[in-house]
Structure 1
Amino acid sequence: MDTEKLADIHCHVLPGMDDGSPDTAVSLGMLRRQAEQGIGTVCCTSHYYASREKIDAFCRRREEALNSLRPVLTRDLPRLLPAAETAFFSGISECPDLDRLCIQGTCTLLLEMPFSIWNDFQVEEVAALVLDRGFRVVLAHPERFCGFKGNRERIRQLEQLPVALQVNAGALLSWRTRRLAVELLREARFPLMASDCHNLTHRVPNLQEGRRTAAQKLGAGFLTRLDRNAETLLQPAVCAANP
């Protein structure tokens, strides 16, 4: 991937969708910072919770949020790809419209696992998404789940499918989480990094800062690996037929 056209595959930049950007002004500020960091593609991964909303309603809200931004977008800003950060839910592997939550034009699904100890059933559901449905599953910020007993081993299991691991850049920038973040990236078969940015104050666009730390800890060549993985996940693809 051209270093001047980096992809940030996990961003809460759409205004008013979730706990991310509250309005158009903040969204534009976030996009400008991303452009300054050489980011050419931003995946708009607003939170999706099946317990709160139907997929159709979520997609309508997402389109409205995108439409509110389009009139003020300029050519120097990153292109926006509709997507979602989908929270795991029981029955997800049989959800017929799940492809609508993928990064637009791809089979790449950003999945947020439960903030708890994962069980066999949940791991089997993720396996079904990959093996039976053909989704390219990306586990969002796995570093947040490693404190739960057994989840580190579950992550290793899921990687054998394979499943990509998307570590947050911020995890590399804090001494509390840097060691774990580096270990996850080093051990991952398919490592990724994203900003998971939410605003312009405490969860800001910081992908380039995280990349600098990754290069220091894992070598400059590791960035090429990250970029190639992101590029692969943004390739056009069609998911398997609905169950």
Structure 2
Amino acid sequence: MENMKSEIVIDLHTHILPQMDDGSQDVNTSVALLHLLWEQGVHTVCATSHYYAHQECMEQFLQRRRQAVFALGDALGEAGVEEYPSIRLGAEVAYFPGISQCPELEQLCLGGTRTLLLELSYTQWTPQQVEEVASLSLDRGYQVILAHPERFSHMRSYWKDMERMMALPIALQINADSLLHWGSRKLALELLNSTPRPLLASDCHNLTSRPPRLEKARLVVRKKLGVDILTRIDETALRFTQPTGG
């Protein structure tokens, strides 16, 4: 665990902003989550609240996010918290038809980048969905991160679609919890080992059922796949969070 403290660890997928989604429900929980992430060696945390285009317009989402950030900042100040990860704003964007043509999509990217955390449908992926992911990456120039692909293995054409995804210049983000449960560990490790752009994130939501367990998951990766894969994960995270020029 001492080694992790010296590494630059970026958590690219969290739900730490208060009252934004099914994640943190109050500022005290948000502050506690940031403290836990800091204790686990996390240097930068990306606040990626759920965005569902069919539920609210982008302007409303961004306004709510600004309010949540202000509330969290006030809470950190009132609590006298001095050490916590730097926070980058983004969103976990649920796929919607026509997403590859959405002109405002960059507003949901990780701040200062064209990195888009994308959550695909939990039902059967359609050829259109796969094609739109390809278009986002190849035609629109987004750095796409596919959120927790290990969760979709129940789908009939899973491996066929995943092979197409892994041929694209996108990243696969595995959830830490998937490495800590026997039922999902094998697939999670296989995906991390197979993709040239692996990512590992906490996808933390709360302090009880879905707390941040990134430190434990990184130890699993180190033990099962070796330090080289862990280094590749950190290098991918750093590359996908670098601000774009211009």
For the pair 1:113 / 2:120, whether they are aligned, the reply is yes
Q: What percent identity do the matched residue pairs reach? A: 48
| CA drift at 1:69 | 0.7
Structure 1: where are the runs of 5+ without partners? Answer: none
Letter aligned with residue 24 of structure 1? V
Answer yes or no: is 1:45 the counterpart of 2:17.
Answer: no
- Does residue 213 (structure 1) correspond to residue 216 (structure 2)? The answer is no
The equivalent residue for 2:38 is 35
Once the two structures are superposed, the pairs formed by residues 128-143 of structure 1 within 5 Å of their partners are 128-143=135-150
1:200-231 deviations in Å (ceiling 9; x for gaps): 00100111110000111101222111100000
Residue of structure 2 aligned with 1:54, choices 46, 52, 57: 57
Task: State the number of aligned residues.
Answer: 239
5+ unaligned residues in a row in structure 2: which ranges? none
Q: Which amino acid aligns with 1:135?
A: Y
After the TM superposition, list the runs of 4 or more consecutive aligned residues in structure 1 that deviate by more than 6 angstroms. Answer: none
Q: Distance in 1 between matches of 2:166 and 2:188?
A: 16
1:84 partner SS? strand
Of residues 57, 64, 67 in structure 1, which corresponds to 2:67?
64
For the 8 Å contact 1:140–1:167, the answer to whether it is kept is yes
After TM superposition, the score normalised by the length of structure 2 is 0.94
Q: Which residue of 2 aligns with 1:227?
A: 234
Task: Give the RMSD, CA atoms, in angstroms.
Answer: 1.5
Give yes or no for the alignment of 1:200 onto 2:207.
yes
- The structural deviation recorded for 1:71 is 2.1
**Contact 1:130 / 1:161 at 8 angstroms: preserved in 2?**
yes
Is 1:102 the counterpart of 2:105 in the alignment?
no
Cα deviations by residue, 1:20-76 (Å, 9 ceiling, x for unpaired): 000000001100000001111110000000000111110110010000011233331
Q: Secondary structure at the match of 1:166?
A: strand
Partner amino acid, structure 2, of 1:235: Q
SS of the aligned residue for 2:183 comes to coil
In 2, Cα distance between the equivalents of 1:55 and 1:124? 23
The two structures have a TM-score, normalised by structure 1, of 0.95
